[in-house]
Amino acid sequence: MKAYVMIKIRAGDVKDVVGQLRKVQGVIEAHMTFGPYDAVAVVETIDIAKLGAITASEIQPIPGVEQTLTCLAVDV
């Protein structure tokens, strides 16, 4: 299962947050972005429960993270 996690970050913390995201197990990519969100993390997990655990326990507690939006990738 793949998901894109869009992240709003406190001003001045983007570089540090992206660096921390890249260390999270299950995050295969993390990038700074321009637009309504400051960063995006690409997460791959075995199931939705693991995705929820990574988002709630690993990504959201990173200092500077203010809000996340998780979008599941669907193959058609």
How do the domains of the chain map onto residue ranges?
2-68
Q: What is residue 42's predicted lDDT score, i.e. its pLDDT? A: 98
What pTM does this model have?
0.94
Pairing of strands 65-72, 39-44: unpaired
Distance separating alpha carbons of residues 64 and 49, to the nearest angstrom: 24
The pLDDT tens digits for 12-32 are 999 999 999 999 999 999 999
- Cα distances from 24 to residues 34, 42, 65, 76, in angstroms, run 22, 11, 14, 28
For range 32-52, the mean pLDDT? 97
Query: What would be the CATH architecture of the domain defined by 2-68?
Result: 2-Layer Sandwich (3.30)
State the average pLDDT for the chain.
97
